[in-house]
Amino acid sequence: MSQLLSTKEVARFLNINEKMVYSLVAEKGLPATKVTGKWLFPKNLVEQWIEVHTINYPATAVGPSAVKPVLIIMGSNDILLERTLSLYNASFTGSIAVFGNLGSMGGLQALRQNVCHIASSHLLQGDGHDYNFESAGRELERMPAMVNFCNREQGILVKKGNPENIRAVADFARQGIRIVNRPLGTGTRLLLDQALKNIAVAGDKIDGYHNQVHCHLDVGFEILAGRAHAGLGIHAAAGLLDLGFVPLCRERYDLMIFKERFFDPGVQQFLGLLHEEPFFKIAASLKGYDTGLSGRMLFPQNDMKEK
């Protein structure tokens, strides 16, 4: 079970007085629970809350790239995105696209700091039905344009044949099962933590919960190496590594772009690829992707016009 802090301990941890702790619970959603009438604070959730609510960053003197032919995308890791970046670099002579694997929340923070052109994200909303709008509205001072990159199948990567008979996240708590996890701030970690919350299982009770790797393929490599029995990841990773896969959900994976960057040549070239046959062929060669919405503007709902 996660370490539980008392009101006094969490006040000391945050370097504030105890009265402010109660205000943060009421106004800012500081994670807390009441046991026998007293507030208790799971330390790992408090740490995640601090990371998510960090807003004071040094101002950047220039935009995401002083070199115009460079397109910078930061955020959530995705196999189809990586292959589309390679397609971009092969298609546009003199231009280059690069990716920073920061997780979905890291992508939003990079967009807010003006160090990337595009942020990629698949953050599940609190209602459990939609993606990214809630997080973008909370973390950014203004809503960016939101374009769908793909829908993809997310689930549990297991050994081929699923010898441990893992069928759901609840099986992670079984004795003898060891998992591999993703870092705080990633959409996959949020999905796991929400699933554990729904079944009232603490992450600290799960063997391997604190063993973190930084991309979907690395989850698969841990399973192939025998260091874990299971971990959350996308179907494409299981397909490439010939692993078993237990589907959990289909999720929307979106691109977020501030309006002043939307009509940059590199951004428009990249978005244009999402409507072309080479992109669809790459997606069809991988497991678990749906490109029915790819390239469609989700916000604003009416396509923006260059002014």
- Amino acid 61: pLDDT: 47
Q: Is 294 helix (H, G, I), strand (E, B) or coil?
A: coil
* Domain residue ranges in the chain: 4-52, 70-150+253-299, 154-250
- Amino acid 26: pLDDT: 77
Side chain identity at 48, as an amino acid letter? Q
Pair type for strands 70-75 and 118-121: parallel
Give DSSP secondary structure letters for 82-110. Answer: HHHHHHHHHHSTT-EEEEEE-HHHHHHHH
Q: What is the CATH number of domain 70-150+253-299?
A: 3.40.190.10
pLDDT digits (tens, 9 = 90+) for 163-212: 999 999 999 999 999 999 999 999 999 999 999 999 999 999 999 999 99
Side chain identity at 52, as an amino acid letter? V
Binned average pLDDT, 10 residues per bin, the chain of 307 residues: 81 87 79 81 80 57 62 97 97 94 95 96 87 92 96 98 98 98 94 94 95 97 98 98 97 96 95 98 98 96 57
103-112 vs 187-198: helix crossing angle, rounded to 10: 130
Pair type for strands 289-290 and 230-234: unpaired
Fold that domain 154-250 belongs to in CATH:
D-Maltodextrin-Binding Protein; domain 2 (3.40.190)
Quote the pTM value: 0.79
- Amino acid 56: pLDDT: 56
